[in-house]
A and B are shown apart, each in its own frame.
Chain A
Amino acid sequence: MAEKDISRRIFIKRLGTGVAGSGLALSQLSAAVSAGKDDDAGEKAPKDQVLLQLTVNGKAVRLHIPASLTLAELLRDRLNLSGTKVVCNHGECGACTVLLDGKAVYSCHILALDAAGKEVLTVEGLLKGEELHPLQEAFVKEDGLQCGFCTPGQIMSAYALLKQKPHPTPDDIREGMAGNLCRCGAYPKIAQSVLAAAKSNARAER
């Protein structure tokens, strides 16, 4: 099989639920979004809940939530986007990393209401249909993971890094990825995966 052509299905088969388990929930997101649309604009919020509107992976989301809901809880429990992992739940390990208006943030450590009116990109949003993002392909090809649980967060951090620095040095990668822990200690291969993805992007640009 040509490495370029790893499909989402084969990828999941190889990795279990780690990296791209993520993609499974897209259909459920659509369901949640359309449920949101059924609300009348003037409808009174349920007791102790407030209206939240934001964009998740390009889709408008509108729903009522308690103020205490974290962004990670919103994504995983309300929108069924379980690719985003929660490990420490204290804004320390990076497994929950998503992009908020283009910047990497710990979704477990900001409130869903902090994302009001903003755009959230999760690991599910990197897929184009069945096609993996070059970063996801690079993590497979370079073996950039062991158990895979930190991988969605690693990939989102890498995505934010490459967006800002398309041609990173190894030091840029170490610094840019510093907010993501890997308990398996796969750091050398994680860095190698990011570098490989940057190189393949550079090739695609030429």
Chain B
Amino acid sequence: MNQQFEYINPQSLDEAVKLAGQGSVYAGGTDLLGLMKNDIAHPQRLVNLKALPELKAVERQKGKGLRLGALVTLNELAENEMLQKDFPAISQAAGSAASPQLRNVGTLGGNLCQRPRCWYFRGDFDCLRKGGATCFAMDGENKYHCVVGGDGCYIVHPSDMAVALLALEAKLEIYGPGGQRLLPISHFYVLPEDDPTVETVLQPGEIITSVIVPEQPVGSRSVFVKFRERSAWDFAVVSVAAALQVQNGAISGGKIALGGVAPVPWLDKKLNNTLAGTALDENGINKIAASALTDAEPLEQNGYKVILARNMIKGVLQSLAG
């Protein structure tokens, strides 16, 4: 690779945080190396988090829920039998990301922090997200861009894990120069209207150390589905994650999160307000699906995403009802 940088194995999390202030944290590297090869990132220093075994644990404590270390690989999540049984949305999302080779290397924390796949951002365009003046997708090739939440920049967030974790109301443990903080994943991502040059609220030197997933109420069911243009090794055109409680044939609580529709993993307010109390019969399912993305403002080429998302929501609800 053409770039020069130093590669440091920190001895402790504190040392990693200290060093990361003037460099990039580096875990699987599947996204960062691509950004470096595409001349988008130019870190002078890579702080190798793989040197910290404490970030690799998968733990479950009764009553407290799951703690997933940020360095657990996507394949480890996909193949974890406990997750497959009790948190299927997590293992399904992990198993549907990227390819087997990338899932062996890519980590949970890295998946949450990956940068967008917009071809203008990845390509040789001085776009708004790279500090330029224009979003080229707005009037350009925007088939895969967002239908809601875009404001000047029309990326979609590419993480599958984030969509599943948003439905499960996960929290992120973040460690940095100011100590530790716990942040709901719903507060982690940044809309372009707030800052079009970053995707997350992570500050320099801050590291996601683990993801906390609350124990789901009895009777909960979770599922993640992803529509891709080919059935493997592709990013989501639209994804839907649901973590719902169902009692007597009606939804009693829970969330549905959408991927591929917005610059951040998306919790549609009207959709989620329609869930509780609605029966999982044909009428109820239609009503819920129709409440999704009512405020969408598609670009020239991506209006299909609204229909696709609503139909996928129907499919998810039918599978949970069945």
Contacts and interface: CB of A to CB of B under 8 A. Distances in A.
Given A105-B104, A178-B99, A179-B100, A110 B29 contact: yes
A110 B105 contact: yes
B46 interface: yes
Contacts of A157: 100-101
A87 interface: no
Interface of B: 1-7, 28-30, 33-34, 37, 46, 48, 50, 75, 98-102, 104-105, 232-233
12 contacts: A48-B4, A68-B1, A68-B3, A70-B33, A90-B34, A91-B34, A91-B102, A94-B99, A106-B102, A110-B28, A179-B101, A179-B102
Given A114-B50, A178-B99, 6 more contacts: A68-B3, A69-B1, A103-B75, A104-B100, A110-B33, A179-B100
A186 to B, nearest CB: 17
Interface string A166-181: 0000000011101100
A111 B104 CA distance: 15
B46 A106 contact: no
A109 B7 contact: no
Contacts of A176: 100
Interface of A: 48, 50, 66-70, 73, 89-91, 94, 97, 100, 103-106, 109-111, 113-114, 157, 160-161, 174-176, 178-179
Contacts of A69: 1
Contacts of B1: 68-70, 73
B235 to A, nearest CB: 12
Contacts, number: 77
Contacts of A91: 30, 33-34, 101-102
B33 A109 contact: yes
A89 B37 contact: yes
A50 B108 CA distance: 29
Contacts of A105: 101, 104-105
Contacts of A66: 4
A111 B101 contact: no
Given A66-B4, A178-B233, A109 B34 contact: yes
A174 B232 contact: yes
A121 B28 CA distance: 19
Contacts of B33: 70, 91, 109-111
B231 to A, nearest CB: 8
A161 B4 CA distance: 35
A114 B232 contact: no
B154 to A, nearest CB: 24
A97 B100 CA distance: 11
A66 B5 CA distance: 9
A68 B101 contact: no
A94 B104 CA distance: 13
Contacts of B98: 179
B7 A94 contact: no
A98 to B, nearest CB: 9
A69 to B, nearest CB: 8
A70 B2 CA distance: 10
Contacts of B232: 174-175, 178
Contacts of B4: 48, 66-68
A114 B73 CA distance: 14
A111 B37 contact: no
Nearest to B7: A67
A73 B33 CA distance: 14
Contacts of A110: 28-29, 33, 105
A106 B7 CA distance: 19
Contacts of A178: 99-100, 232-233
B280 to A, nearest CB: 30
Given A91-B33, A91-B34, A106 B101 contact: yes
Instruction: From B29, B37, B101, name the one whose CB has the most chain A CB atoms within 10 angstroms.
Output: B101
- The 10 residue pairs across chains A and B that have the minimum distance between CB atoms: A179-B99, A178-B232, A67-B7, A103-B104, A179-B101, A68-B1, A106-B101, A179-B100, A178-B233, A104-B101
